[in-house]
Amino acid sequence: MIRIGNASGFYGDRLGAVREMLEGGELDVLTGDYLAELTMLILGRDRVKDAGLGYAKTFLRQMEDCLGLAVERGVTVVANAGGLNPRGLAAAIDKLGVGARIGVVTGDDLRADFPEALTANAYLGAWGIAECVRAGADVVVTGRVTDASLVVGPAAAHFGWAREDWDALAGATVAGHVLECGTQATGGNYSFFTSLDVDRPGFPIAEVEADGSSVITKHEGTGGAVTIDTVTAQLLYEIGDPAYPGPDVVSHFDTIELAEHARGVRISGVRGSPPPETLKVCLNSLGGFRNGTTFVLSGLDVPEKAALVRRQLEGALGTEGLTWTLARTDQPDADTEETASALLHVTIKTPDPKRAKAFSRTAIELALGSYPGFHVTAPPSDGTPFGVYRAAYVPRDRVAHQATLPDGKVVAV
Partner 1 sequence: MKVPLGTIAGARSGDKGGDANLGVWVRTDEAYAWLVGELTVARLKELLPEAGEVVRYELPNLRALNFVLHGLLGDGVASSTRFDPQAKALGEWLRSRHVDIPEALL
Shortest Cβ distance from residue 391 to partner 1 (Å)?
6
236 touching partner 1, by CB under 8 A: yes
307 touching partner 1, by CB under 8 A: no
Shortest Cβ distance from residue 255 to partner 1 (Å)?
7
What number of chain residues touch partner 1 (CB under 8 A)? 42
234 touching partner 1, by CB under 8 A: yes
Query: With helix as H, strand as E and coil as C, how does the chain read?
Result: CEEEEECCCCCCCCCCHHHHHHHCCCCCEEEECCCCHHHHHHHHHHHHHCCCCCCCHHHHHHHHHHHHHHHHHCCEEEECCCCCCHHHHHHHHHHCCCCCCEEEEECCECCCCCCCCCEEEECECCHHHHHHHHCCCCEEEECCECCCHHHHHHHHHHHCCCCCCHHHHHHHHHHHHHHCCHHHHCCCCCCCHHHCCCCCECCEEEEECCCCCEEEEECCCCECCCCHHHHHHHHCCCCCCCEEECCCCEEEHHHCEEEEECCEEEEECCEEECCCCEEEEEEEEEEEEEEEEEEEEECCCHHHHHHHHHHHHHHHHCCCCEEEEEECCCCCCCCCCHHHEEEEEEEEEECCHHHHHHHHHHHHHCCCCCCCCCEECCCCCCCEEEEEEEEEEEEHHHCCCEEECCCCCEEEC
Nearer to partner 1, 228 or 411 (CB): 228
Q: Among 128-136, 163-171, 320-328, 334-342, which window interacts with partner 1 (CB under 8 A)?
A: 320-328
Shortest Cβ distance from residue 242 to partner 1 (Å)?
5
Shortest Cβ distance from residue 327 to partner 1 (Å)?
7
Shortest Cβ distance from residue 191 to partner 1 (Å)?
4
Binds partner 1 by CB under 8 A, chosen from 218, 349, 355, 401:
349
Binds partner 1 by CB under 8 A, chosen from 104, 120, 233, 344:
233
Q: Among 77-85, 139-147, 229-237, 304-312, which window interacts with partner 1 (CB under 8 A)?
A: 229-237
127 touching partner 1, by CB under 8 A: no
Binds partner 1 by CB under 8 A, chosen from 74, 115, 221, 240:
240
Q: Measured between alpha carbons, how far is residue 170 from residues 78, 178, 290 in Å?
A: 19, 12, 41
Nearer to partner 1, 37 or 64 (CB): 37
191 touching partner 1, by CB under 8 A: yes
251 touching partner 1, by CB under 8 A: no
268 touching partner 1, by CB under 8 A: no
Binds partner 1 by CB under 8 A, chosen from 23, 52, 94, 232:
232
Binds partner 1 by CB under 8 A, chosen from 223, 255, 329, 370:
255
Which residues of this protein are in contact with partner 1, per CB under 8 A? 37-38, 41, 184, 189-192, 229, 232-242, 253-258, 284, 287, 290, 292, 323, 325, 327, 345, 347, 349, 386-391
